[in-house]
Amino acid sequence: MSGLEIMAIAFGLAMDAFAVSIAAGLTLPKVTGGHVLRLSWNFGLFQFMMPILGWAAGRTFAAAIETWDHWVAFGLLAFVGLHMLYEALHPQRDTRERGDPTRGLRLWMLSIATSIDALAVGLTIAFLRQSVWVPALIIGLVAGGMTVIGIRFGSRLGHRWEVRAEVLGGLVLIFIGARILYTHLV
């Protein structure tokens, strides 16, 4: 696999993380450095780890993983998206009570959901009998960088449109999950 192919794959995989980070930026009243660091670190780390896990699984588990990865990604993104819609449509008096997509279980679910496709890339690398370490590192770094850009962009959009932006963020997550499901089923 050439360097150009690895970069193309990395940017392709990072698009889900980018879109989800925009949605996360939309939901936060004020994006801090901590938010950016947590989200970009986790998205980058998971994007780095998933190809390695896929590569390690190799040919033995390829068929089993391909049959359910899209369902897991869809379920996680739809759950978080629906929760965001609920929070937007049922506003709480104290915005600090709202869920923070850069913490806890939501962060883990989003990290897994946005990186599950990278597992398949790792399987592909195993099939090609190539080393996974450089591609995994590039994939993780690109995803982390795109997440920083996405959350900052989402934050700027969110302060202008508040509730509508949070609704949009939830719908974007549901759409991404549905797109992942659709592309794997069709």
Give residue 88's pLDDT: 73
Give residue 161's pLDDT: 62
Domain extent for 164: 3-185
Phi and psi at residue 90, in whole multiples of 5°? -125, 70
Q: How far is CA 12 from CA 9, 35, 39, 148, 166, in A?
A: 5, 23, 18, 16, 25
User: For residues 127 and 55, what is the distance between their CA atoms, to the nearest angstrom?
Assistant: 8
pTM of the model: 0.75
Cβ count within 10 A of residue 128? 11
Residues in the chain: 186
> What is the full per-residue pLDDT of the chain (186 aa) written as tens digits?
788 889 988 988 898 899 889 889 988 888 999 999 999 999 999 999 999 998 998 756 656 666 777 787 777 678 777 877 887 787 664 444 457 899 999 999 999 988 988 887 887 788 777 899 999 999 999 999 999 999 999 888 766 665 676 677 678 778 877 887 888 788
User: What is the number of domains present in the chain?
Assistant: 1
